[in-house]
């Protein structure tokens, strides 16, 4: 029996990632996402490449497939929790003033 590997659509993944995190009304999603060490590492790399390329397009356009998959997995993991739950985890139950 043969199984076809599902094709990964990088453009769709980029847009979904932007929608889940950057365009979310919940700022806690952005804060948690961009504070993750693995996200910071990927973002540092892609921003460096983007800057070397004359800042053409968006930084996310320079992420490779594995990086997009990892970023999207992390984003989905974050947004499936409600903001109050994330705040409690992130700030140890204390709200920022």
For range 68-77, the mean pLDDT: 97
Q: Is 28 a domain residue?
A: yes
Query: For 8-34, what is each residue's pLDDT tens digit?
Result: 899 999 999 999 999 999 999 999 999
Structurally, the chain folds into a number of domains equal to: 1
For range 67-83, the mean pLDDT: 96
- Token duo for residue 20: 């889940």
- 34: domain range? 10-90
pTM for the whole structure: 0.84
Distance from C-alpha of 48 to C-alpha of 50, rounded to nearest angstrom: 5
Q: What percent of the chain has pLDDT over 70?
A: 90
Query: For 31-53, what is each residue's pLDDT tens digit?
Result: 999 999 999 999 999 999 999 99
Residue with token string 């320079």? 62
């Amino acid at each position: 029996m043969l199984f076809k590997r599902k094709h990964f659509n990088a453009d769709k993944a980029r847009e979904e990632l932007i929608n889940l995190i950057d365009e979310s009304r919940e700022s806690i999603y952005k804060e948690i996402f961009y504070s993750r060490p693995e996200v910071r590492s990927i973002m540092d790399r892609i921003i460096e490449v983007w800057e070397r390329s004359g800042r053409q397009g968006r930084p996310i356009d320079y992420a490779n497939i594995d990086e997009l998959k990892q970023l999207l997995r992390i984003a989905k993991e974050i947004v499936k929790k409600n903001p109050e739950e994330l705040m409690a985890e992130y700030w140890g139950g204390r709200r920022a003033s």
